[in-house]
A and B are shown apart, each in its own frame.
Chain A
Amino acid sequence: MSNSTDIIRAGLKKRYAREKRFRFFGIVSLLISFAFLLVLLFTIVNKGWPAFQQTYVKLDVELSEDLLKVNKDSDEDALYSANYSKVVKKSLQKMFPGVKGRKQKRALKNIVSNSAAYDIRDKVIENPDLLGTTQSYWFLAKDDIDVFMKGKIDRHLPEDERRIKDYQFVWIDKLIEEDRLEKRFNTVLFSNGDSREPEQSGLKGAIMGSLYTMLVTLLLSFPIAVAAAAYLEEFAPQNNKWVDMIEININNLAAVPSIVFGLLGLAIYINYFGVPRSTPLIGGLVLTLMTLPTIIIASRAAIKSVPPSIKEAAVGLGASKVQVLFQHTLPLAMPGILTGTIIGMAQALGETAPLLMIGMVAFVAEVPNGILDPATVMPVQIYLWSDSPERAFTERTSAAIMVLLAFLVAMNLIAILLRKKFERRW
């Protein structure tokens, strides 16, 4: 007897050590998972933060009538088509005289973005009296200057290893000395569509595209999903093989890889029904199929949680089954249904793969104005920008991710608040 107790006692220390070790592994794996999350978020924020600022250059532009070949009395067409980039070039040459060689001349021109000419054009058309005067304006700086101003280019590297050469540093130093370079909040990021020039590219087109796509998705998936959930919970006959099949299908659809939905969209919607490619309409149609299972499952749970006593009371007062559903069950289940819908929408907002199949990867500079305009959505914009080699695009990609995550966080917060506020325990 005492023998086996001794054996157990002798092993206790080892067993307790093992216990501690096991527990430690548990904590460690949890912490590793958290660490991944933190590293991920930190990298994105760290990379993307600077993109919310943008460098501007102040230039004194002489709006010479001779150079532009227009005068105050010219009609708008002439004003529109005048060569404004010439004046910009001229003002730069005036500020830095004696620049020689094609390469250096081009570099000089590339201090400001080519949007400077359009800015001047708009100002002149607005007020033709400016012609003949010298004005100082702030223009968008070119992406290389911007990247340097944010401290991402080391000027101590050997010259052939960096994007900005020594002669350019002379100019930049002079500009800084004269307070002609300034970092401001990047409004371009939110007011422009996509562009090949990093400094001019913005998210507005993608945000609007996402908005229209989500609108189509919501308008289609919400009614269909609620109707399907209500049917399955309240009307469907028990042990019917059709109903079983519907349920199995819903569960399977929830697990089908998203890219397969893209194939469906391409083969059926686009090639068979001729829905136009690259539009929020086709994007919404595809995403609807993906969000349906999520909303159906959440809605069924919400409808199921409405106590039968309420329904029975309504039936007792002479309501028909459909009346009970629309007047009692659905209003009571609505908070749960809405929570599920918002979560489904958040998933759809972050979805990329199926949209690549249906042509939403096209380069679209225009901001879409409806569900039939070519558009792209935020996650696809992120994908497109991440593919661009320019350094400034990396920064903007991270900023776009931050904007997307902000939308997702907001949606999930709304869902949580909604649940907290309206959740009823029966």
Chain B
Amino acid sequence: MPTQTIIITLIALLIFSYFLGQKRSIAVSSINNGRRDLHSRPHYYGYMVAIWAGIPAVLILLLWTAFNNSIVTSLTISTLPESMQTQSKDSLGLVVNELRNLADSGQIADEADPIKREAASHYQRLQGISKLAKTVIVLVVALLGMIYAWRLINPELRARNVVEKVIRVAMILCACIAILSTVGIVFSVLFESIRFFEAVPPSDFLFGTKWSPQTSIRSDQVGSSGSFGAIPLFVGTLLISTIALVIAVPLGLMSAIYLSEYASKSVRAFAKPTLEILAGIPTVVYGFFAALTVAPFLRDLGESIGLSVASESALAAGLVMGIMIIPFVSSLSDDVISAVPQAMRDGSYGMGATKSETIRQVIIPAALPGIVGGILLAASRAIGETMIVVMAAGLSAKLTINPLEAVTTVTVQIVTLLTGDQEFDSPKTLAAFALGLGLFVITLLLNIVALHIIRKYREQYE
């Protein structure tokens, strides 16, 4: 039975067991005093039976589906002759793939190599057994659970407490998914990065100034080991993010100041959501805009005043990224500016200061930690932004801080290294994970610092 059918059967079984439990509780209680004797209301007994039938069965189904392939594959490999088992990981993977294709296409008889024919049919047999066993075991476990819970039912059984306990545990597990995904991220980038650093020394990666992962495909090439210097990427990322911040910080900050200090209520009610639209536009749209409108415009502009601007200039990507993060800066600054107590403004006005003097000399200094926090958050956003740079920034890693030239960024390289490529052992693909690790660490640090600053500042006025 395919997995979908098992799931549908299981759902039907759960609904059935719910009604079974409900009926049973009523039947059991009616012998004596009727339903008043029941500890919980009948539907809790139904839920309890369904839980007993469902949870073990679903767990088995999940685990089986998750580990089925790897176990069957390793069992198949163990039947291969010794010489094939000890070959390198790559060629073993190739053999396994071949066997799988053979087994799935059902043309085992055509295969010339008797060893492979044997192994493929073994694989097919194992998969068949596994499928059958999965169906039988899952459904039997569900039935056993149902019967067990059904037999448990008696008026004194605290069915509600059991159900509520399960619900609570389920809720805790859901809350822990946040931790799990962080752990997942750390592990996924860390393990592959460690494999990468086995091939390329970390010092080369961190301090090297030449990035050309393509050259390392052929090991006989000169310099194939020294081309993973990430400095140009980080400089490129920094350059584009800096341009973005140079644009977004003044615009966002001044907008926030105007909206929170000067604008009338109706202007604010209109302008704030309009500004937020900028944050809601998908980044791929910004990327398209940058590549098709802004970059050619800047190039033509540069030509007309005698400057040579690359068609994938850092300026174009940075400019558009700046537009994208304006709302981040403005809404975060708006929050902290509004949080400055009115008494401070009144005090300043009382001393005869004008509004702008109050803003510049009282409000901004008071809100500065919060604003800095907001800018750091915006910076981490800019560093991690992918689509704009993938579409509008270049691919060649040039170590430059000239905004008119094409640079590449960490995220662009991750995307180029990982799209299309399947093999997982070359330093080329593993480098993407090392870059991902760097990106994750940098943004994490920025976020922690930013949140810390913002929280600390908030406490000051509360």
B164 part of interface (Cβ distance < 8 Å): yes
Residues of B within 8 A of A274 (CB): 66, 69-70
Contact with B along A381-412 (1 / 0, CB 8 A): 01100100000001001100100110010001
**Given known contacts A19-B354, A255-B447, is B254 in contact with A260 (CB within 8 Å)?**
no
A266 part of interface (Cβ distance < 8 Å): yes
Report Cα–Cα, A15/B356, bound state, in Å. Answer: 9
**Given known contacts A227-B175, A257-B383, A263-B188, is B280 in contact with A252 (CB within 8 Å)?**
no
The stretch of A33-41, A119-127, A128-136 in contact with B is A33-41
B48 part of interface (Cβ distance < 8 Å): no
**Given known contacts A44-B289, A249-B182, is B177 in contact with A224 (CB within 8 Å)?**
yes
The interface centre, meaning the residue of B178, B259, B291 with most chain A CB atoms within 10 A of its CB, is B178
B184 part of interface (Cβ distance < 8 Å): yes
Report Cα–Cα, A251/B284, bound state, in Å. Answer: 25
Looking at the assembled complex, report how far the CB atom of A171 sits from the nearest CB atom of chain B, in whole angstroms. Answer: 31
B141 part of interface (Cβ distance < 8 Å): no
The interface centre, meaning the residue of A26, A268, A274 with most chain B CB atoms within 10 A of its CB, is A26
Chain A residue nearest to B176 (CB atoms) is A246
Q: How large is the interface on A (under 10, 10 to 19, 20 to 34, 35 or more residues)?
A: 35 or more
Do residues A267 and B440 form an inter-chain contact, with CB atoms below 8 A? no
Residues of A within 8 A of B177 (CB): 224, 228, 292
A235 part of interface (Cβ distance < 8 Å): yes
Looking at the assembled complex, report how far the CB atom of A179 sits from the nearest CB atom of chain B, in whole angstroms. Answer: 35
Looking at the assembled complex, report how far the CB atom of B349 sits from the nearest CB atom of chain A, in whole angstroms. Answer: 13
A197 part of interface (Cβ distance < 8 Å): no
Report Cα–Cα, A386/B257, bound state, in Å. Answer: 38
**Given known contacts A230-B171, A289-B181, is B419 in contact with A267 (CB within 8 Å)?**
no
Residues of A within 8 A of B359 (CB): 22
Do residues B411 and A257 form an inter-chain contact, with CB atoms below 8 A? yes
Looking at the assembled complex, report how far the CB atom of B405 sits from the nearest CB atom of chain A, in whole angstroms. Answer: 22
Residues of B within 8 A of A230 (CB): 171
A256 part of interface (Cβ distance < 8 Å): yes
Do residues B289 and A43 form an inter-chain contact, with CB atoms below 8 A? yes
A352 part of interface (Cβ distance < 8 Å): yes
Do residues A34 and B274 form an inter-chain contact, with CB atoms below 8 A? yes
Report Cα–Cα, A263/B185, bound state, in Å. Answer: 8
Residues of A within 8 A of B391 (CB): 383, 386
Do residues B414 and A252 form an inter-chain contact, with CB atoms below 8 A? no
Do residues B439 and A320 form an inter-chain contact, with CB atoms below 8 A? no
B384 part of interface (Cβ distance < 8 Å): yes
A361 part of interface (Cβ distance < 8 Å): yes
Q: Which of A227, A260, A296 interacts with B189 by CB under 8 Å?
A: A260
Q: Which of B178, B283, B439 interacts with A253 by CB under 8 Å?
A: B178
A68 part of interface (Cβ distance < 8 Å): no
Contact with A along B231-263 (1 / 0, CB 8 A): 000000000000000000011111101110110
Do residues A40 and B289 form an inter-chain contact, with CB atoms below 8 A? yes
A346 part of interface (Cβ distance < 8 Å): yes
Q: What secondary structure prevails in chain B residues at the interface with A?
A: helix
Chain B residue nearest to A382 (CB atoms) is B284
**Given known contacts A43-B293, A227-B171, A257-B383, is B418 in contact with A357 (CB within 8 Å)?**
yes
Chain A residue nearest to B357 (CB atoms) is A15
Looking at the assembled complex, report how far the CB atom of B325 sits from the nearest CB atom of chain A, in whole angstroms. Answer: 11
Residues of B within 8 A of A320 (CB): 160, 164
A426 part of interface (Cβ distance < 8 Å): no
Looking at the assembled complex, report how far the CB atom of A2 sits from the nearest CB atom of chain B, in whole angstroms. Answer: 16
Do residues B262 and A386 form an inter-chain contact, with CB atoms below 8 A? no
B34 part of interface (Cβ distance < 8 Å): no
Report Cα–Cα, A37/B282, bound state, in Å. Answer: 13
Do residues B415 and A353 form an inter-chain contact, with CB atoms below 8 A? yes
Do residues B175 and A246 form an inter-chain contact, with CB atoms below 8 A? yes
Residues of A within 8 A of B275 (CB): 30, 33-34
A211 part of interface (Cβ distance < 8 Å): no
B residues 274-290 touching A (CB-CB < 8 Å): 274-275, 277-278, 280-289
Report Cα–Cα, A405/B381, bound state, in Å. Answer: 22
**Given known contacts A30-B255, A246-B179, A260-B384, is B174 in contact with A37 (CB within 8 Å)?**
no
A310 part of interface (Cβ distance < 8 Å): no
A168 part of interface (Cβ distance < 8 Å): no
B374 part of interface (Cβ distance < 8 Å): no
Do residues A260 and B174 form an inter-chain contact, with CB atoms below 8 A? no
Chain A residue nearest to B429 (CB atoms) is A266
Q: What secondary structure prevails in chain A residues at the interface with B?
A: helix
Report Cα–Cα, A294/B41, bound state, in Å. Answer: 36
Do residues A26 and B192 form an inter-chain contact, with CB atoms below 8 A? no
Do residues B178 and A18 form an inter-chain contact, with CB atoms below 8 A? no
A259 part of interface (Cβ distance < 8 Å): yes
**Given known contacts A23-B262, A401-B285, is B291 in contact with A353 (CB within 8 Å)?**
no
Do residues B282 and A351 form an inter-chain contact, with CB atoms below 8 A? yes
Residues of A within 8 A of B136 (CB): none
Q: Which of B164, B175, B284, B443 interacts with A383 by CB under 8 Å?
A: B284
B385 part of interface (Cβ distance < 8 Å): yes
Chain B residue nearest to A370 (CB atoms) is B4
B38 part of interface (Cβ distance < 8 Å): no
Q: Which of A15, A223, A250, A264 interacts with B185 by CB under 8 Å?
A: A264
Looking at the assembled complex, report how far the CB atom of A328 sits from the nearest CB atom of chain B, in whole angstroms. Answer: 15
B191 part of interface (Cβ distance < 8 Å): yes
Q: Which of B175, B188, B258, B383 interacts with A264 by CB under 8 Å?
A: B188
**Given known contacts A22-B359, A353-B415, A357-B419, is B432 in contact with A383 (CB within 8 Å)?**
no
Do residues A346 and B254 form an inter-chain contact, with CB atoms below 8 A? no
Do residues A250 and B357 form an inter-chain contact, with CB atoms below 8 A? no
Residues of A within 8 A of B385 (CB): 257
Do residues A40 and B179 form an inter-chain contact, with CB atoms below 8 A? no
B52 part of interface (Cβ distance < 8 Å): no
Report Cα–Cα, A30/B175, bound state, in Å. Answer: 40
The interface centre, meaning the residue of A15, A29, A398 with most chain B CB atoms within 10 A of its CB, is A29
Looking at the assembled complex, report how far the CB atom of A153 sits from the nearest CB atom of chain B, in whole angstroms. Answer: 18
B residues 406-447 touching A (CB-CB < 8 Å): 411, 414-415, 418-420, 424, 432-433, 436, 439-440, 443-444, 447
Do residues B284 and A352 form an inter-chain contact, with CB atoms below 8 A? yes
B147 part of interface (Cβ distance < 8 Å): no
Looking at the assembled complex, report how far the CB atom of B43 sits from the nearest CB atom of chain A, in whole angstroms. Answer: 12
Chain B residue nearest to A275 (CB atoms) is B66
Do residues B451 and A251 form an inter-chain contact, with CB atoms below 8 A? yes
Do residues A257 and B293 form an inter-chain contact, with CB atoms below 8 A? no
Do residues B255 and A231 form an inter-chain contact, with CB atoms below 8 A? no
B50 part of interface (Cβ distance < 8 Å): no
Q: Which of B167, B172, B250, B287 interacts with A322 by CB under 8 Å?
A: B167
Contact with A along B377-390 (1 / 0, CB 8 A): 10011011111001
Contact with B along A227-249 (1 / 0, CB 8 A): 11011100110000000011001
B109 part of interface (Cβ distance < 8 Å): no
A327 part of interface (Cβ distance < 8 Å): no
A30-B254, A356-B418 known; 8 new pairs, CB 8 Å cut-off, are A28-B254, A30-B255, A228-B175, A252-B444, A255-B443, A260-B384, A292-B177, A386-B284
By Cβ-Cβ distance, the 7 closest A-B pairs, closest first, are A257-B384, A350-B282, A26-B258, A267-B188, A353-B386, A22-B356, A29-B254
Q: Give 17 pairs: A residue, B residue, CB < 8 Å, sorted on A.
A: A19-B354, A29-B255, A43-B293, A253-B178, A256-B443, A257-B380, A257-B383, A257-B411, A259-B439, A267-B189, A273-B66, A292-B181, A352-B386, A357-B419, A383-B284, A386-B287, A401-B285
